[in-house]
Structure 1
Amino acid sequence: SKNYAKGFSEVQRKVRESTSNDPWGPSGTSMNEIAQLTFNKQDFLEIMDMIDKRLNDKGKHWRHVFKALLLLDYCIHVGSENVVVYSKGNLYVIKTLGEFQHIDEQGKDVGANGRLKYIY
């Protein structure tokens, strides 16, 4: 798999799998597992770094962005306090995502999913 070839850690692989381009969302089990890992300092740093990379993806990788938002939202509620602190410090990224827009092959604005999630 691509994750092994690029030398990602176990934690990074978990985040990448939860925020993949697959048409289904991340499972509650995997999000919970990642949220629990945020209580470990080293794991937390790797998780936030990977979420940050996913949030910065563009265009056809819109699912990376949408799923990273879902995962971040979950970790804010269930994970370590550090996730909240990190998110407050990087609010500009999340605010930008409030304007996230991507028109897919069918002409549908799939960014609306992310914007709705952001508003609530």
Structure 2
Amino acid sequence: MAFQQFRRGALRVAKNYVKRYSDTQAKVRDATSNDPPGPSGIQMNEIIQLSYNWNDFVEIMEMLHKRLNDEGKNWRHVLKSLTVLDYLLHAGSENVVLYFRDNHLYIIKTLKEFQYVDEDGKDCGANIRQKAKDISNLLSDPARLQEERRTWASMRGPMIKGQANRGPDRDEDELREAIGASKKTLAA
């Protein structure tokens, strides 16, 4: 299993080089790969920081747009792209909010109907449908979205100051906490 993931990672690096993807595009491709683990907190934070630079923002949006339109066996591309998008909506550049609300909300709404059942009969689309519904609801409620962005910003301030003393496990814990807080706000 580890060898397969290594092989896929090596193929992704080669494809990034051959297709002349920028570093930003390669980071988004890596975070939204078809490999089983989700994007790491480190990957998410790098993409968030990049979203504040206009050129990087455009490249991130292009790659997310491409990944969100995948289907079938590439369902993880879609799920991970929604995860990255959710994180960007909460903590990335305000341009992400404007871009998806004004231009691409239809893609998210379409994903509420995503269907893919694997060869073992597992419904791989359930998480995509739920995440698309959550993001669609968030984008459709500007006041709630702004409040969640303020909450995340207040949580991220102390996190960023302590980044020098942290490891990857701490990033993952904070990502889970932030997503949990978002879900609690959604349920309220």
**Where on the TM-score scale, by shorter chain, does this alignment land: which range?**
over 0.9
Please identify, of 106-115 and 44-53, the stretch whose mean Cα deviation from structure 2 is larger: 106-115
Match of 1:48 in 2: 61
Counterpart AA for 1:95: K
Q: Which has the higher contact order (CA 8 A, sep 6+)?
A: 1
Number of equivalenced pairs: 120
The answer as to whether partners of 2:114 and 2:129 remain within 8 angstroms in 1 is: yes
Q: Deviation of residue 92 (structure 1)?
A: 0.4
1:51-86 C-alpha deviation (Å, 9 max, x unpaired):
000001111111111111110110000100000001
Letter of the 1:3 partner, please give it: N
1:118 positional shift: 2.6
Give the C-alpha shift of residue 12 in structure 1.
Answer: 0.2
**Paired position in structure 2 for 1:16:** 29
- What's the % identity of the aligned pairs? 62
Q: More helix per residue: 1 or 2? A: 2
Query: Taking structure 1 as the reference length, what is the TM-score of the superposition?
Result: 0.96
Instruction: Could you tell me which runs of 5 or more consecutive residues in structure 2 were left unpaired when the two chains were aligned.
Output: 1-13, 135-188
Give yes or no for contact 2:109–2:133 (8 Å, CA) kept in 1: no
Shift in Å at residue 50 of structure 1?
Answer: 0.3
Q: Give the superposed CA RMSD.
A: 0.9
Could you tell me the TM-score, scaled by structure 2's length?
A: 0.62
Look up the match of 1:84. Answer: 97
**C-alpha separation between the residues in 2 aligned to 1:8 and 1:26?**
19
Structure 1, unaligned runs of 5 or more = none
The partner residue of 1:7 within 3, 20, 30 is 20
Query: Which has the higher Rg, Structure 1 or Structure 2?
Result: 2
Q: Which runs of 4+ in 1 moved over 6 A?
A: none
Counterpart of 2:153 in structure 1 is none
1:29-59 Cα shifts (integer Å, max 9, x gaps) = 1011101111000000000000000001111
Shift of 1:5: 1.6
